[in-house]
Structure 1
């Protein structure tokens, strides 16, 4: 099973949102990383056959997805950044409605919905109107609707937005297990949500794919550029102006441990640190902020 984009391009008037993107997506979890405006959502909408490319092709096992029509949609699941629902829908009614739209057999619908409600801890709110749910619960309902037809290809745009740390851990475990024989493409700003479950990552900037590889392969780009040291609290304002600090932690006794990015050590006691995916992300996108667990 393979989903291939070939020289994919999308032009909006004078802006090229996606520029000559070539990807070969195979079973497993794929992370799609990039700053706001990189073209990630446009790329996902084209893969979902919601948006037509200006040029290029998207093939599923060698077949054009647009020509496949309903056959492609039947094996596809999609979670957009904002999924729509009628305000009067309860969780259960909405999932039954989506199941009908996806032609999930009636005899399987209840079992599938009950299973997803349990997995995503929504059973207790299944009879509540979606509009009255918290942001995290609404997001979980969105995840459930994307998976109702047991898709072979699952595309998720910011799936963990609004989820608390415990919910994100459960989501990661769920997706990791689900992806064994499926293609799962996840776009997220919460880098830790894909760092340990992604089979491959694609890094996107200004509409182009900069690089593709495993986490271990990609982070080699910032080997020797990640440092840690301990500094005095009084000097922190100066260091914040001079260093690209990506993390800091109070050590007590007016001491602060910092992690920073630089081509070479900035202090005599700096120690080189093993790079992580979020280090690479901030190296490539210095204006972006990493949203950490619990924030």
Structure 2
């Protein structure tokens, strides 16, 4: 099983959203990392067959997906970033409707829906109208519809948006179990959501794939760029101006432990530390530091 993306580009008037992307997706969980505007959503919509590429092709086991039609749709699950519900449907009615659209056998529909409702902790609201649900619950309904047909390829764009920390943990566990023998591609700018479950990651910036590989392979790019030190609390304002701080923690006694990014040590007591995927992400996308620091 392989999804092969070859020299894929998408042009919108004077903007190139995806620029000559080539990538081979094999079974397992793939993280697609990039800042907002990197081209992730456009790439995923082309993989989903919703957008037609300006140039390039996408093949599933050697077949162009644009020629596969219903065969491709039946093995595909998709959660877009902005998911439109039929708001007056109840959760259960909506999932039954989606199951019919996806040609899920009628005799299997009830059990599949009940299982997903239980797994995503939606059983208690199955008879509520979607319009009355919280944002996190609506997102979980979106996850359920994407998985209804046991897709061989599951594409999810910012799936944890609106989920609380406990829901995000349950989502990660669910996707880890589901991914065996399947291709799962998760687009996110919340690195912690995929750092420990992704088999491979692809980093996207300005429409291009900068690099792809395992987390261990990718974080080597940030070797020698991540440091920690402890500074007086009263001088934090000065250090915030001088350092690219990505995390800080009070140590008591008016001292603050700081983790920062730099090509070289910026204080005499700085210690080089092993980088994480989040460190690499913030090194590549410095404009994301403020939002990530608050997560």
Deviations 1:192-222 (A, max 9, x none): 1100110100000110000000000000011
Question: 1:216 maps to which residue?
Answer: 216
Gaps of 5+ in 1: none
Question: 2:178 maps to which residue?
Answer: 178
| Contact kept? 1:165, 1:293, Cα under 8 Å | no
Q: CA deviation at 1:252?
A: 1.3
Q: CA deviation at 1:92?
A: 0.4
Question: 2:244 maps to which residue?
Answer: 244
Gaps of 5+ in 2: none
Question: 1:87 maps to which residue?
Answer: 87
Q: CA deviation at 1:289?
A: 3.4
State how far apart, in whole Å, the 2-side matches of 1:286 and 1:293 are.
11
Moved over 4 A (4+): 290-295
Question: 2:158 maps to which residue?
Answer: 158
Deviations 1:78-119 (A, max 9, x none): 000111112211100110010011010100000000000000
Task: Calculate the aligned-residue CA RMSD, in Å.
Answer: 1.2
Partner SS state of residue 36, structure 2: coil
State how far apart, in whole Å, the 2-side matches of 1:294 and 1:106 are.
46
Question: 1:266 maps to which residue?
Answer: 266
Question: 1:48 maps to which residue?
Answer: 48
Partner SS state of residue 78, structure 1: strand
| Contact kept? 1:282, 1:289, Cα under 8 Å | yes
State how far apart, in whole Å, the 1-side matches of 2:7 and 2:49 are.
16
Q: CA deviation at 1:290?
A: 6.9
TM-score by length of 2: 0.98
